[in-house]
């Protein structure tokens, strides 16, 4: 009887091929998750956005200002504004952040969402889709952002159904192999 018990223990310790496969799949999915940089000065809006994005299985990094977003992306220059694009590209590599989408509030103190959009579109991050959000439905503001390079303009408060609109933009951000 003791022998049978020890055999069961040995059997339990042997890794199951199916389990190993599931673990590998989970690791691959983690690497393939889309990374969204969420920028909003409102704590409530930022937390809501984070919750919605995580519910949709996105990896999320939240920052509270345009300046923090520029810093995260390696675009915050303390030197002269005549920095070269190769310098900006170097910052992207040294930061090591992979970002598939940037979602930013329009109205923020300091660097506004529109200012952030313009800085991103004029940098090595120009191919990363940017979605601008606002609680105010101002047609001229919407047009300005879309003409400035925003992929989408969304009205707050966002809902889970709004995130389906960004899926196509995320897919465009994937490297083509």
Q: Per-domain residue ranges for the chain?
A: 34-76+88-172
pLDDT of residue 171: 74
Q: Which residues pair with 59 in a beta bridge?
A: 35
Tens of pLDDT, residue by residue, the chain (177 residues): 544 444 444 444 555 666 666 655 554 454 458 999 999 999 999 999 999 999 989 999 999 999 999 999 999 875 434 444 444 443 333 345 789 999 999 999 999 999 999 999 999 999 999 999 999 999 999 999 999 999 999 999 999 888 888 887 777 766 654
Q: Would you state the structure tokens that stand for residue 111, as one six-digit string?
A: 């660097």
- In this predicted model, what pLDDT tens digit does every residue of 80-108 receive, in sequence order? 344 444 444 433 333 457 899 999 999 99
Reading across the β-sheet that carries 59-63, which strands appear in turn?
59-63, 35-39, 101-105, 130-134, 152-155
- CA gap 113, 105 in Å, rounded: 5
Helix or strand (DSSP H, E) at 92: helix 85-95
Residue 48 half-sphere exposure toward CB, CA atoms < 13 A: 15
Residues with Cβ within 8 Å of residue 136, at least 6 apart in sequence? 106, 107
For domain 34-76+88-172, give its CATH number from 3.30.365.10, 3.40.50.2300, 3.90.400.10, 3.40.50.9100: 3.40.50.2300
The per-residue pLDDT for range 143-161, each reduced to its tens digit, is: 999 999 999 999 999 998 8
Q: Are 57 and 32 in contact (CB under 8 A)?
A: no
């Amino acid at each position: 009887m003791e022998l049978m018990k020890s055999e069961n223990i040995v059997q339990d310790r042997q890794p199951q091929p199916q389990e190993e496969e599931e673990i590998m799949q989970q690791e691959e999915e983690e690497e393939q998750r889309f990374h969204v940089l969420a920028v909003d000065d409102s704590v409530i809006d930022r937390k809501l956005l984070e919750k919605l994005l995580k519910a949709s299985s996105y990896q999320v990094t939240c920052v509270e200002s345009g300046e923090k977003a520029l810093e995260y992306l390696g675009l915050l220059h303390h030197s002269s504004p005549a920095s070269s694009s190769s310098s900006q590209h170097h910052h992207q590599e040294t930061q090591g952040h992979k970002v598939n989408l940037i979602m930013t509030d329009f109205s923020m103190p300091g660097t506004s969402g529109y200012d952030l959009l313009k800085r991103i579109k004029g940098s090595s991050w120009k191919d990363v889709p940017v979605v601008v959000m606002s609680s105010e439905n101002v047609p001229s503001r919407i047009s300005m952002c879309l003409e400035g390079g925003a992929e989408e303009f969304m009205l707050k408060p966002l809902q889970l159904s709004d995130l389906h609109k960004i899926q196509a933009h995320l897919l465009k951000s994937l490297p083509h192999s």
